[in-house]
Amino acid sequence: MAEVTVVKQPKDRPEIDRFFKFETPILRGSLFGVNPFTLMRQFTDDMDRVFTGAPRTADTGSVWAPAIEVKEKAGKLLVTAELPGLKKEDVKVRLEGDTLVVEGERRQEKEEKTEGFFHSERSYGKFFRSLLLPEGTKADLIAAQFNNGVLEVTVPLAEVKTNTKEIPVQEGSKKAA
């Protein structure tokens, strides 16, 4: 009997090949084989870039921008910044034109010594927050106080006289057309 060599040829199916090779800029790769955790990390990095202008960093795990609360009370603007773990020397407050700037550096060091091992972690990072102040701010009377990780900046505001007049509202009567 004669010997015959059989070679199996793959079928050309462009619609299926196109589906499996589907790539998008969001997934940064093939649709299949994407690790959901990698996808979530990429999404988080993208959102960090959108809202903070900087990517997540490997040493701290995230970009840190301290929480700031602004409220007006008794003719003064009260700016409160939560800066846990910082000292007064780590924080700088300054006025640049009509902008209040709070900046500083956070340094964290953690060491753990137990039987058989030594673990040490260090992270450093600068922060910067700015706040546009309203017109009529009394710049020479701005005061800042730091107490137990909370920075309070008091900004006296000039009295703004408004030309407002109350206009009485009358009830109208129905007119026949």
- Residue-wise pLDDT for 120-174, tens only, equals 888 778 888 888 888 878 888 999 999 988 999 999 988 767 788 889 999 887 6
At 114 the pLDDT is: 84
At 38 the pLDDT is: 76
What's the pTM value of the predicted model, to 2 decimals? 0.52
Domains of the chain: which residue ranges?
14-52, 68-156
Given pLDDT bands bounded at 50, 70 and 90, which one contains residue 53? Answer: low
C-alpha dihedral, 91 to 97 to 99 to 104, nearest 10°: -20
CATH 2.60.40.790 given to domain 68-156: yes
Over residues 75-84, the mean pLDDT reads 90
Which is nearest to 59 in space by CA: 108, 129, 128, 113?
A: 108
Residue 156 CB contacts under 8 Å (≥ 6 apart), including other chains:
75, 76, 77, 137, 138, 141, 142
At 32 the pLDDT is: 59
- Higher-pLDDT residue of 19 and 85 is 85
At 2 the pLDDT is: 67
- Higher-pLDDT residue of 136 and 78 is 78
pLDDT at 101 over 70: yes
